[in-house]
A and B are shown apart, each in its own frame.
Chain A
Amino acid sequence: MTTFLQTLMDAISVGSLYALIALGYTMVYGVLRFINFAHGDVFMLGAWFSFWVTTKFGWAGEGAHPSIPRALTVMAIAMALCGLLGYLIERLAYRPLRFAPRLNVLITAIGVSLLLQNTGQLKYVFGTENQRMPTLLPATTLATVAGVNITLIDVIIVAGSLVLMGVLDRLVYRSRMGMAMRAVAFDPHTASLMGVNVNRTVSATFVAGSMLAAAAGFLYATKYPNLNQPAFSTWTLLGLKAFIAAVVGGIGNIRGAMVGGLLIGLIEQFGVAYSAPLSHGYITGEFKEIYVFALLILVLLVKPSGILGRLTVEKV
């Protein structure tokens, strides 16, 4: 029972992080209809920027002193940096291809992803060494329920994700900018005839998505302080799973991203915890990736538009 509850707790916590990243994929897909492969790398850089800012401020090692204002400062700076990065990516790499075939944009996105990873790994930037994220949040246990510790970090992750998702939901469905985003998603030309500044709207989408990814990166680094390199083997898979969350929930659908993120979190965490015991050791926890991909393929075959997605018919 304790294992079950602990796993559930982890699943919700990790799942909300997936959901945060998935939102960026889903927003860009919703507006521009392509998979921004580089989004997972923006998430990675969010974690690394957080590490960099913390050490630059001298809040690592001797100067370490967990406090919430410090954590918020670091997160805000990481979000700002990633927001800028998202803007630049869109402006320089994707905008010239706005009306190009999707395949070309997809290839470009992979190019951007590799560019970010490998630039990040240069010895002048973050290097290829593993690092440890300094502690910014006190490791307080708020309560213990049935033997499960509810830590401050988990609460902040879940609450923070919910707040950010709420803000995004309001932005998209209740604001003027959101109206512009949804109009551009249907058809950029028509949206521009309504007076929507398409370039600015697309930029805003990228900035918002990248900032959410940065927040997720910060929270992830806080929960799992080992920042591993090389980037591909550790971080790309996380980004990929977040993307799968977006697809499973229904890509282009904000609430779908939340549902998908939680689902992936559940499958992954329960997969890790229960694979070996239930199969008498034949299947190990490493199969969690396979469950996630199997879920993806299943959803794509049964309901390609995702759990909450609406089916769109390809135009001739």
Chain B
Amino acid sequence: MADSPTTTARPIASIRARTLQLTPPRWVAFCRGAAPIVIGVALAVLLQFYANRWFGGYREKILIDIGINIILAVSLNIVNGYTGQFSIGHAGFMAVGAYTAGFIMYYGSFWLFGDTQFHGGILSATTDPRGLHGPGFSGGDLLFPAALIAGGLVAALFGFIVGLPSLRLRGDYLAIVTLGFGEIVRVVIETTGTVLAGDEIGGQPWYRLLNRVGGPMGFGGLPIYASSFWVWVCVAATVLAAYRIKASTMGRAFLAVRENEIAAASLGVPITRYKVRAFVIAAFFAGVAGGLFAHEIGNMLNAGELGFLKSFDIIIMVVLGGMGSISGAVVAAIVLTILPEALRSVSEFRMIAYALLLIVMMIARPQGLLGIHEMWDLPYFRRRRTGGKTA
């Protein structure tokens, strides 16, 4: 509140003039708004071409895992952190997105390109050296983002359906519904039949293929598209969206619902609408993350692996990082992706350690490491930003 001493009884006109003074010119505002997107895409391009050279294939894959986990944690944070609802079925949305995108990429590739192989250009390439053996740009580069978005949209539709019971349920009941949703998704997918090979697809109507996504054996044979580029573009989009939502009116409404539903309702916040919105947005990004996961190198898409335990992995990222903190979720996603790799030799203790961490965390620091704050809100950073002056 730097201006507080000067706010005493000034004419409205001069306040308006001052507001105009403080408002940057339109082109500055535009650049400021576009900057994160530009930086995000630039970073993604940089990683696409140099990650492998700098870090090697194994570490590049871990970076991709980190990216996917960031998308999952940041999106779950919108439901669990901002809105204070408790979803333990996030992996269910991920599975929906993964199978939708996988279906489009596998059978769609067949219809468009005549086979189910990889048809991407440099940006989708995951082998090194990038793009030397393929075209610079190809149809797959358009099909893959389309499939990701489709996966996100179908997941969002399910998010809407799961969010609806929040009309009548709160807290732990809603948690059970989300858990039930995740289980239903898994069971339904596991009842499907085997994936058709390329020569069997021809002549089949598309709806007959819907239940040919692998069942308990998993959806094998998906082309590998989840390159560093696509993953980090999606990360940038998710983080940016989460940040803009948090700072918006909708974000304030989410937080109001989280703090006190009854008070929020009495202030005119339509709480059900906002809860459903939170679910829809979170499910969309989870679906996108699922689409990336399905087409990641070294992964076999299998509904059995996208069950409660995966949801739990995401929850612990959110809880650890701080319910409502984007930077906290990002940091937790990074740490909790690297940690299991580092602890591979004692992996049977990993879940025990996680569980204990969660219990101790809830008792000692229930709001998570950062709580609702962002890293740059911490006193240390704040001091530096304001040049040593405390507000």
Contact = CB atoms under 8 A, between A and B. Distances in A.
Co-assembled chains A and B: yes
Interface of A: 34-35, 93, 96-97, 100-108, 110-115, 117-119, 121-123, 232-233, 236-237, 240, 243-244, 247, 284, 286-287, 289-290, 293-294, 296-297, 300-301, 304, 314, 316
A297 B177 contact: yes
A293 B180 contact: yes
A102 B180 contact: no
A114 B348 contact: no
A112 B363 CA distance: 13
A284 B362 contact: no
A24 to B, nearest CB: 16
B359 A240 contact: no
A316 B266 CA distance: 11
Contact of B355 (A112, A123, A233, A300): A112
A97 B363 contact: yes
A300 B173 contact: yes
B177 A286 contact: no
B355 A111 contact: yes
Closest 6 CB pairs of A and B: A111-B358, A115-B355, A293-B180, A114-B355, A118-B351, A111-B359
A108 B359 contact: yes
B84 A304 contact: no
Contacts of A304: 168-169, 173
Given A108-B363, A297-B165, A114 B312 contact: yes
Contact of A314 (B262, B354, B355, B359): B262
Interface string B326-361: 000000000000000000000011011011111100
A295 to B, nearest CB: 10
B188 interface: yes
B300 interface: no
A interface, by DSSP: helix, strand, loop or mixed? Answer: helix
Contacts, number: 118
Contacts of B179: 240
Contacts of A111: 354-359, 362
A96 B361 CA distance: 12
Contacts of A115: 352, 355-356, 359
7 contacts: A97-B366, A103-B84, A106-B86, A118-B351, A296-B177, A304-B168, A304-B173
Contact of B359 (A93, A237, A300): A93
Contacts of B169: 300, 304
Per DSSP, chain B at the interface is helix
Given A103-B84, A301-B165, A304-B168, A244 B354 contact: no
Given A110-B358, A297-B177, A104 B366 contact: yes
B86 A284 contact: no
Contact of B366 (A101, A117, A118, A301): A101
Contact of B184 (A105, A110, A290): A290
Nearest to A303: B168
Given A114-B355, A293-B183, 11 more contacts: A97-B362, A104-B362, A105-B362, A111-B359, A115-B355, A119-B352, A122-B349, A240-B183, A297-B180, A301-B165, A304-B169
A96 B357 CA distance: 15
A301 B175 CA distance: 14
A114 B355 CA distance: 6
Contacts of A107: 315, 319, 358, 362
A96 B366 CA distance: 11
A110 B178 CA distance: 14
B262 A316 contact: yes
Nearest to B181: A293
Contacts of B190: 286
A184 B84 CA distance: 27
A106 B191 CA distance: 31
A34 B315 CA distance: 18
A34 B172 contact: yes
B171 A284 contact: no
A289 B187 contact: yes
A237 B309 CA distance: 13
A113 B171 CA distance: 18
Contact of B362 (A34, A100, A232): A100
B308 interface: yes
Contacts of B315: 107, 110
B176 interface: yes
A289 B191 CA distance: 12
B165 A300 contact: yes
B176 A247 contact: yes
Nearest to B364: A96
B344 to A, nearest CB: 16
Nearest to B173: A300
B72 interface: no
A316 B264 CA distance: 11
B88 interface: yes
Contact of A237 (B183, B262, B349, B357): B183
Interface string B89-106: 000000000000000000
Contacts of B176: 35, 243-244, 247, 296
B359 A122 contact: no
A290 B187 contact: yes
A66 B309 CA distance: 39
Given A121-B348, A122-B348, A289-B183, A284 B177 contact: no
Contacts of B307: 232
Interface string B174-207: 0111011101100110110000000000000000
A140 to B, nearest CB: 36
Contact of B88 (A96, A110, A232, A244): A110
Contacts of A240: 179-180, 183
Q: Which of B165, B308, B312, B319 has the most CB of A within 10 A?
A: B308
Contact of A293 (B171, B184, B351, B358): B184
Interface in B281-309: 304, 307-309
B191 A108 contact: no
Contacts of A243: 176
B148 to A, nearest CB: 28
Interface in B71-91: 84, 86, 88
A121 B349 CA distance: 10
A104 B172 CA distance: 11
